[in-house]
């Protein structure tokens, strides 16, 4: 007898059963009585919901991201929190920063909070190499609770990854730039994370497949701030490019500001593609062509997987979603 | 059956029961098993743990906001989480939505999490009237834990408010528009929250003090989305205005998009002022003049006050920070 059976017998949704168990005021007294009666008759105890000892579950999920002020992460946290709540789970938030030692401390701390599962948001947790020893602390964490990674990938027991296929998305975007006649595409990034590494691979492969050589000097790194990206490009007179593929929308907007300062017309003189389809991409002028990196989709995959995993069902350790290019005004194809 | 009964039956102290519930490594496995057995046999759930027992602090602060995907709130949560952590506190995040019933449920739920204090982020919790009966549930919550409001104000025991002086900031901004020669200032807002009401008061007072009449038709409300604001202004041919004072940067960017569509030059034909000094304000083109509403400052006030309050010191129930105008490219003064 599990929650599905109870829901069916009581003629309500699983979410409603969950709410009754949590004595949520969102459920009417009448419904509560009906659901509780079914539970009693079938000797169903809510303890079964929880991981391990039952008694010990606080129905809490740990959400960890480097920086909640980042729009991509904020949106992910918003989606996860909203939907986990509907499954009866509250969220502990921990912002770890990007520093590796801080992240160690963060994971250690959040595990002391009796969480049922841990979500690591953003690819920086996977480092630049999924097999790196630097991620051993995450494998250790996964011995205590299931770990779900959003857009990062680490192989290991009890670690489940939902990923945007950044290699494919970057490959497509850069290929389109080249096919539209651009010859010198700048790769502009803020990170060497797992995701950024996949994007770089896609960029390089697209150049190779177009018969062009890859120049390391055309891969430029700068903090993800509009003014920082603009100023860096303004200072680099040695760089010659007629297109920018940026791994974040903020960087792409920086490139747009650079173009304006240089009196370059976009997309006539220079094409620009951003990443993440954030609010920034429709705020700037001209509006930014950008890759939709499927953040909401990844969150949904994580929640669905988590709910199965917490019922001890088998789930896949790695699921991909495909990103796609949204064409706006900074490209001419 | 309460914690005292469990302690007695298990032959341990209340503190030990608390530690078992919290799965503290300070208690031996053998003792844990014994205490858990007693709990199970007596159908005791840790929820019963009352707050205020001292030994019961989980060093956890509840952070509640309507929508963490909102940049203002995300930044506040980032600041609070970061700094509370340095004081040894973890954060439970709860996104309540804007609906009044959802907010009731949210406060009810988060109080069950044994938090030491509750922070309500954003002025929507204060409704449009701080004395409204609609905020009674917050006064009830304050009977259990100290409640800190960021940019909202409710009078009540154990409620502490840190506020931007939105009246003064709006008054200054609109006065500057009028002094620069603008005659028809549109008030563009997305809300009737406490903060929005203060901004509206400042707008009206500035008009009055300039000898102008206040027209209700010039106060326009729309969802805080760039495209929604743009489309609304495009559809309202009845409105005549040469300036926009928006209560959110997103709305101001919508006004900017409207101006572009209408071939109006900014700030020659129309001046625009936003609010919050978000990343959007430096992303758009021309860049937005906007009010810095001192979010970081308010968060700092809240944390400093909370640390004193949790040591049972007296603190002020209401502290203001003054907002100020950041002049960029959408105004000509």
DSSP line for B75-118: HHHHHHHHHHHHTT-EEEEEE--S-HHHHHHHHHHHHTT--SEE
pLDDT at residue number A51: 32
In a domain, B76, yes or no: yes
pLDDT at residue number B22: 66
In a domain, B170, yes or no: yes
- Contact B283/A282, CB-based, under 8 Å? no
- State which residues of chain B have pLDDT below 70: 22-23, 45-56, 129-131
Cβ–Cβ under 8 Å, residues B193 and B128 = yes
Judgement on whether residues B193 and B287 belong to the same structural domain of the protein: yes
* Chain A residues inside the 8 Å CB shell of B85: 94-95
Q: Where are the beta strands (DSSP E) in A30-158?
A: 60-65, 90-95, 117-121, 147-150
**Which residues make beta-bridge pairs with A187?**
A219, A245
Nearest-neighbour CA in chain B from A208: distance (Å): 33
pLDDT at residue number A52: 32
In a domain, B326, yes or no: no
In a domain, B333, yes or no: no
- Contact B81/A93, CB-based, under 8 Å? yes
Nearest-neighbour CA in chain A from B24: distance (Å): 8
pLDDT at residue number B27: 82
Judgement on whether residues A72 and A82 belong to the same structural domain of the protein: yes
Q: Please tell me the distance from the alpha carbon of residue A267 to that of residue A256, in angstroms, as a whole number.
A: 10
pLDDT at residue number A55: 44
Q: What letter would DSSP give residue B124?
A: G
- Contact B71/A74, CB-based, under 8 Å? yes
Total domains present in chain B:
3
Q: What is the CATH classification number for the domain harbouring A69?
A: 3.40.50.2300
Quick one: A255 exposed, middle or buried, by C-beta within 10 A (0-12, 13-18, 19+)? Answer: buried
Q: Among partner residues B69, B81, B279, which is closest to A280 by beta-carbon distance?
A: B279
Distance linking the first and last C-alpha atoms of chain A: 56
Judgement on whether residues A185 and A283 belong to the same structural domain of the protein: yes
Q: Which residues of A touch B (CB under 8 A)?
A: 22, 24-26, 53, 55-56, 58, 60, 63, 67-69, 71, 74-75, 77-78, 81-82, 85, 90-95, 109-110, 113-114, 226-227, 250, 253, 256-257, 260, 279-280, 282-285
Nearest-neighbour CA in chain A from B267: distance (Å): 16
Report the candidate in B150, B325, B129, B152 with the shortest Cα–Cα distance to residue B245: B325
Place of tokens 């205590």: A144
pLDDT at residue number A131: 67
Q: What is the extent of the structural domain holding A103? A: 60-164+295-321
- Contact A68/B90, CB-based, under 8 Å? no
pLDDT at residue number B253: 98
pLDDT at residue number A102: 87
Judgement on whether residues A210 and A183 belong to the same structural domain of the protein: yes
Two tokens, residue B119: 């922070």
Judgement on whether residues A283 and A180 belong to the same structural domain of the protein: yes
pLDDT at residue number A129: 65
Judgement on whether residues B266 and B304 belong to the same structural domain of the protein: no
In a domain, A329, yes or no: no
Cβ–Cβ under 8 Å, residues A280 and A330 = no
Judgement on whether residues B99 and B158 belong to the same structural domain of the protein: yes
In a domain, A327, yes or no: no
Q: Among partner residues B69, B227, B253, which is closest to A78 by beta-carbon distance?
A: B69
* Chain B residues inside the 8 Å CB shell of A251: none
In SS3 terms, B26-48 reads as CCCHHHHHHHHHHHHHCCCCHHH
Nearest residue of A to residue B20, measured between CA atoms = A56
Q: Among partner residues B109, B279, B285, which is closest to A90 by beta-carbon distance?
A: B109
Residue of A283, A284, A285 to mutate for B, most B C-beta atoms under 10 A: A283
In a domain, B332, yes or no: no
To the question of pTM greater than 0.80 for the whole model, the response is yes
Residue of A279, A281, A290 to mutate for B, most B C-beta atoms under 10 A: A279
The predicted complex's ipTM stands at 0.80
Judgement on whether residues A276 and A170 belong to the same structural domain of the protein: yes
Q: What is the CATH classification number for the domain harbouring A32?
A: 1.10.260.40
- Contact A253/B283, CB-based, under 8 Å? yes
In chain A (333 residues long), the average pLDDT of successive 10-residue segments reads: 81 79 77 88 60 56 95 95 93 91 89 92 83 87 96 94 97 98 97 94 98 97 97 97 98 98 98 97 97 97 97 94 97 93
* Chain B residues inside the 8 Å CB shell of A60: 92, 113
Judgement on whether residues B288 and B301 belong to the same structural domain of the protein: no
In a domain, A331, yes or no: no
Nearest residue of B to residue A24, measured between CA atoms = B105
Last-in-domain residue among A52, A74, A93: A52
């Amino acid at each position: 007898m599990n929650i599905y059976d109870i829901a069916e017998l009581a003629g309500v949704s699983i979410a409603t059963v969950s709410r009754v168990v949590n004595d949520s005021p969102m459920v009417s007294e009448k419904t509560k009585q009906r659901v509780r009666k079914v539970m009693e008759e079938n000797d169903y105890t809510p303890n079964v919901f929880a991981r391990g000892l039952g008694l010990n579950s606080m129905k809490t999920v740990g959400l960890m991201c480097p920086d909640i002020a980042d729009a991509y992460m904020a949106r992910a946290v918003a989606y996860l929190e909203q939907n986990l709540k509907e499954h009866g789970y509250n969220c502990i938030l921990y912002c770890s920063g990007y520093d590796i030692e801080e992240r160690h401390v963060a994971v250690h701390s959040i595990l002391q909070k009796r969480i049922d599962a841990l979500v690591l948001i953003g690819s920086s947790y996977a480092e630049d190499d999924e097999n790196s020893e630097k991620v051993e602390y995450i494998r250790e964490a996964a011995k205590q609770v299931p770990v779900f990674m959003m857009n990062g990938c680490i192989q290991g027991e009890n670690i489940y990854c939902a990923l945007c296929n950044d290699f494919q998305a970057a490959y497509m975007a850069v290929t389109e730039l080249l096919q539209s006649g651009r010859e010198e595409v700048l790769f502009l990034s803020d990170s060497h994370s797992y995701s950024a590494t996949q994007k770089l691979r896609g960029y390089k492969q697209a150049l190779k497949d177009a018969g062009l050589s890859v120049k390391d000097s055309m891969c430029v790194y700068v903090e993800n701030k509009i003014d920082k990206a603009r100023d860096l490009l303004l200072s680099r007179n040695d760089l010659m490019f007629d297109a920018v593929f940026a791994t974040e929308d903020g960087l792409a907007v920086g490139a747009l500001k650079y173009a304006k300062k240089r009196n370059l017309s976009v997309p006539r003189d220079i094409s620009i593609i951003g990443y993440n389809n954030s609010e920034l991409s429709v705020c700037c002028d001209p509006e930014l062509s950008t890759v939709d990196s499927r953040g909401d989709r990844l969150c949904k995959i994580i929640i669905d997987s988590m709910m199965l995993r917490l019922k001890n069902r088998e789930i896949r350790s790695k699921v991909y979603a495909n990103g796609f290019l949204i064409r706006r005004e900074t490209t001419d194809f």
